[in-house]
Homo-oligomer: A and B are copies of this chain.
């Protein structure tokens, strides 16, 4: 693509490519070069749209957050009003540590990236809150909060162990917390 030709989606495509890079190489591996290659654009194009590595990371997190929101929304759609929350929630974590492990690892890496990057705190925070808000539509606030924490803990642990969660394990934990 010669100079002067405008490509209005380019910024978006680079951001999307950034997520792929994080999936492949981790947050540390998210470089302008890697994003450029993944997006199929010249290096200069990535530095033009995202002048710092931090900008690139932030864009990746925003995009990943949208994915997460969509995932949660879809999950919630499949729940009856009087569904068994512990069981359905267990299904969610089992799916994330199994078939969707790749995506979950990316999301956790991005979430945890805020530990050292104050600029990302707000984003990571909103991320965490999304699950609590979803759960709060199906149980009381305290339980929703406690369940979110357990989901966080379970996911992180399972992702680190590298083995998918077992449905019954997860369900037992959630049931314990929900106090049923």
- Of B108, B145, B153, B176, which one neighbours A142 at CB under 8 angstroms? B176
> In the complex the two chains form, is A125's CB within 8 Å of B161's CB?
yes
> In the complex the two chains form, is B28's CB within 8 Å of A146's CB?
no
Residues of B within 8 A of A142 (CB): 172-173, 176
Residues of B within 8 A of A153 (CB): 148-153
- Of B109, B124, B176, which one neighbours A143 at CB under 8 angstroms? B176
> In the complex the two chains form, is A111's CB within 8 Å of B152's CB?
no
A116 within 8 A of B: yes
Scan A135-170; emit 1 where CB is below 8 A from any B CB, else 0.
000000011011011111110110111100000000
A-B contact pairs, 16 of them (CB 8 A): A108-B115, A109-B112, A109-B115, A121-B160, A125-B157, A125-B161, A128-B157, A142-B172, A145-B173, A146-B150, A146-B173, A146-B177, A149-B152, A151-B153, A152-B157, A177-B177
